[in-house]
């Protein structure tokens, strides 16, 4: 009987020793005993009025950096009452999910005040479709790919978004090529069934009258205005990429209690930023006058110039002078 009672008593004791050994290994792996001893010793010498508040502040500095746990896309209305995209960022901070910030991204669609009703309805439908696709991308794909990443690592976040965008562009191009091939095959089939149209000769040029004098050639030589650049196609839903990237940048700025423009400047220049940043405002005055002017009135315009990425502000006046003159 005594042996049986001793055997029953050894079971809980052995389990307790095993748990103690596991706890000791766990705390040693995380360097808890050494850090706790240093913290308690420093707290004793400081003797703060709020002991637990001081300990909480010290432990918060030892916590893991925040990581993205969820990205949420929503339908919202902008200042004109039109649908647009809003992105919210949630981060895991000290083992708890926490809402950090939100960003609203404007669409690339222009708003015409006096447009035809049919055109306005078509533009509104395209805008709503683009916002819906962007919301679906954020809630289904982007939130999974960014989960666990640190918002402080903007380069890694942008690389993930860039890869996602390139895949979407490739899918869109493949879909367009498939549609184009189907249309070409349908047109080729219909043209093979229809008879060829009759050939017609072009009309003869009008006869030149005798005694007709040639007009005087104009001696005014003016530089023609360059035509507007063709509109680049925009991938439907691509606003989600810029909105999420901006939201992540704003997240780390909020966590570090820094202005957003200051954080973006630190991403561009990996050095200590000055306390005050000066942004140059480039304004160019364009005057049309002189012998080559097409009229008697002088035309004067003031244009604000925004440099392209990679150009310095000092290079913009030279680019403008070469473009207009």
240-279 pLDDT, tens digit per residue, is 999 999 999 999 999 988 888 888 888 876 666 566 666 6
311 or 35, higher pLDDT: 35
pLDDT at 75 over 80: yes
Query: What pTM did the predictor assign?
Result: 0.67
User: Pick the residue with more confidence: 311 or 67?
Assistant: 67
Task: Pick 67-174+235-268's CATH classification: 3.30.390.10, 2.60.40.10, 3.40.190.10, 3.60.15.10.
Answer: 3.30.390.10
pLDDT value at position 80? 80
Question: 101-105, 139-143, 242-246, 263-267: which range is least confident on average?
Answer: 263-267
Question: What's the chain's Rg over C-alpha atoms?
Answer: 34
Identify the DSSP state of 257: T
SS3 call for 116: coil
Mean pLDDT, range 40-59, rounded to an integer = 88
Q: What is the pLDDT of residue 125?
A: 85
Quick one: which of 116, 115, 130 has its CA closest to 82?
130
* pLDDT higher than threshold 50 for residue 145: yes
pLDDT of residue 260: 87
- Check pLDDT > 60 for residue 319: yes
Strands 283-288, 299-304: pairing is antiparallel
Domain ranges of the chain: 17-62, 67-174+235-268, 280-325
Instruction: Give residues with Cβ within 8 angstroms of 99, minimum separation 6.
Output: 88, 89, 90
pLDDT score for 181: 83
Q: Looking at residue 199, what is its pLDDT? A: 65
Res 151: pLDDT: 92
- Rounded CA separation 145/244 (Å): 12
Cα 5 to chain centroid distance, Å, stands at 70
Of 123 and 7, which is predicted with more confidence? 123
- pLDDT on residue 304: 67
DSSP β-bridge partners for residue 116: none
Q: Is residue 72's pLDDT more than 90?
A: yes
**Given pLDDT bands bounded at 50, 70 and 90, which one contains residue 101?**
very high
Confirm if 151 and 252 have CB atoms less than 8 A apart.
Answer: yes
Q: What is the pLDDT of residue 191?
A: 67
Closest CA to 65 of 208, 190, 251: 251
The set of residues, in sequence order, having a beta carbon less than 8 Å from that of 301 and lying 6+ positions away, is: 285, 286
Instruction: Work out the mean pLDDT of the chain and round it to a whole number.
Output: 79
**DSSP E strand stretches across 122-212:** none
Rounded CA gap, 22 and 62, in Å? 22
Note the pLDDT of residue 1.
47
């Amino acid at each position: 009987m005594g042996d049986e009672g001793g055997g029953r008593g050894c079971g809980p004791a052995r389990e307790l020793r095993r748990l103690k050994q596991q706890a000791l290994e766990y705390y040693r792996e995380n360097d808890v005993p050494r850090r706790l001893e240093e913290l308690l010793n420093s707290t004793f010498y400081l003797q703060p009025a709020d002991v637990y508040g001081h300990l909480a502040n010290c432990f918060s500095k030892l916590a893991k950096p925040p990581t993205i746990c969820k990205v949420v896309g929503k339908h919202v209305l902008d200042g004109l009452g039109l649908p647009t995209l809003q992105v919210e960022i949630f981060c895991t901070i000290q083992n708890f999910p926490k809402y950090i910030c939100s960003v609203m991204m404007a669409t690339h669609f222009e708003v015409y005040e006096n447009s035809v009703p049919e055109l306005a309805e078509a533009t509104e439908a395209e805008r709503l479709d683009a916002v819906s696709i962007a919301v679906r991308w954020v809630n289904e794909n982007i939130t999974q790919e960014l989960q666990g990443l640190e918002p402080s690592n903007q380069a890694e976040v942008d690389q993930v978004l860039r890869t996602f965008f390139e895949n979407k562009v490739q899918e869109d191009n493949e879909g367009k090529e498939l549609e184009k091939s189907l249309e070409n095959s349908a047109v080729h089939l219909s043209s093979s069934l229809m008879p060829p149209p009759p050939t017609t000769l072009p009309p003869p040029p009008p006869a030149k009258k005798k005694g007709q004098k040639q007009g005087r050639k104009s001696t005014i030589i003016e530089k023609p205005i360059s035509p507007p650049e063709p509109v680049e196609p925009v991938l439907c839903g691509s606003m989600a990429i810029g909105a999420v990237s901006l939201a992540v940048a704003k997240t780390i700025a909020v966590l570090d209690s820094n202005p957003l423009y200051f954080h973006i400047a630190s991403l561009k220049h990996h050095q200590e930023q000055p306390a005050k940043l000066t942004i140059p405002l480039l304004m160019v005055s364009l005057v049309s006058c002189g012998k080559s002017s097409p009229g008697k009135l002088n035309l004067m315009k003031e244009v604000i110039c925004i440099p392209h990425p990679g150009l310095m502000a000092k290079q913009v006046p030279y680019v403008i002078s070469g473009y207009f003159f």
